[in-house]
Amino acid sequence: MQQHMTDALSGKVAMVTGANAGMGKEISLGLARLGATLVMVVKEFGAGHDRLHALVNNAGMTAARRTETVDGLETVFATNHLGPFLLTNLLLPVLKASASARIVTVSSGAQAMGKLDFNGLQSARSYGEIRVYNASKLANILFTYELARRIKGNGVTSNAVEPGFIKTNLKVPFPFSIFSFMRGKPVDGAKPSIFLASSPDVEDVSGAFYNNKGVATTSSKITYDDATAGRLWKVSGELTHLDLN
């Protein structure tokens, strides 16, 4: 990752989810320092803006016990995957109108341990905190790659990033919590997302996964299976009642 120009995003509009604290706050501050206009209130976005040049899907969570959203969806999967999936699709028209534009989705190194059970995406029969979180982070990568294929040629890029083991408000499940002393600062975890959202070095890069050093790397083998990514896309559309035609 190279140092950015201080006005690299001057005149650009960016949106960051989960921007009120932790890494999301640092991503927002970093983009603002580069001259971006930051938007954090999604409901009111359409009323005040007709352009969006960078969307950072950063919001995420983990939970020790299974809960459901008001829509009856398992909360971790809904927050970490279905939320970004729905928001991004709803914002695609304005992103395409703003081209060039970038979509950055924050995943995790946990994606390498993730497995998707299409017969149990809601974890209704059994729930494991680590398993569910890992699956949601794997879904982030599958979503990123499928999105990149679908928007190719529209002037919008889609990439995913691993921020590293960062100390935020996100509770770290046991046994990983015993290594909490090794967690980095939110400002460091924010750097690769800022890089992908702003650097001219990756202006034309899409469908890639970057590590916490801002270097493109490989993700788990299943993420390169187009059929799996397509199936997840279809199921996600059904769960969010999104018309993808």
Q: Give the C-alpha separation, 31 to 37, whole Å.
A: 8
Structure tokens at 148: 């990149």
Given the structure tokens 């997840």, which residue do they identify? 232
Q: Give the C-alpha separation, 34 to 48, whole Å.
A: 21
**39 neighbors 45 (Cβ within 8 angstroms):** yes
What is the β-pairing status of strands 156-161 and 208-210?
parallel
**23 neighbors 188 (Cβ within 8 angstroms):** no
Residue 112 CB neighbours (<10 A): 17
The verdict on whether 145 is a catalytic residue reads no
**152 neighbors 94 (Cβ within 8 angstroms):** no
- Using DSSP's 3-state secondary structure scheme, residue 236 falls into helix
**131 neighbors 161 (Cβ within 8 angstroms):** no
In the set 127, 133, 210, 224, the catalytic residue is 133
Q: Give the C-alpha separation, 57 to 90, whole Å.
A: 13
Exposed e or buried b for every residue in 76-89, given b needs 16+ CB within 10 A? bbbbbbbbbbbbbb
| Residues designated catalytic | 133
